[in-house]
Amino acid sequence: MNRKKKINETLKKRLKRKVDRQKSTNKPRYISKAEREKLALAEASATEQSSSSAADVADSSDNAEPSATD
C-alpha cells in the first residue's frame, strides 16, 4: 500500500509541476535597476531631441513671420 501511495504522490507532483509551468502569468517581466536607468536616460535624450527640434522649428517660423511683414 505504501509503495502505491508513494508512486501516486510522485505522479501527482510531476503533473502539478507540468501544469504550473504551462500557466501563463500576468506579471510583467522583471527589469533591473540598471536597465531602468538606461531606459530613462534614453527616453530623456529622446525627449530632449524632440523638444530641441520643435524649438528649432518654432525659431525658424518666428524668424520667417517678421520677415514677411517687413
- Residue 31 neighbours by CB under 8 Å, 6+ apart: 39
pLDDT digits (tens, 9 = 90+) for 35-66: 999 999 999 988 888 777 666 666 665 555 55
Note the pTM of the prediction, 2 decimals. 0.39
Tabulate helix, strand, coil % of the chain (nearest 5): 85, 0, 15
- Residue 39 neighbours by CB under 8 Å, 6+ apart: 31
| CA 29 – CA 37 distance, rounded (Å) | 16
Give residue 66's identity as a one-letter amino acid code.
Answer: P
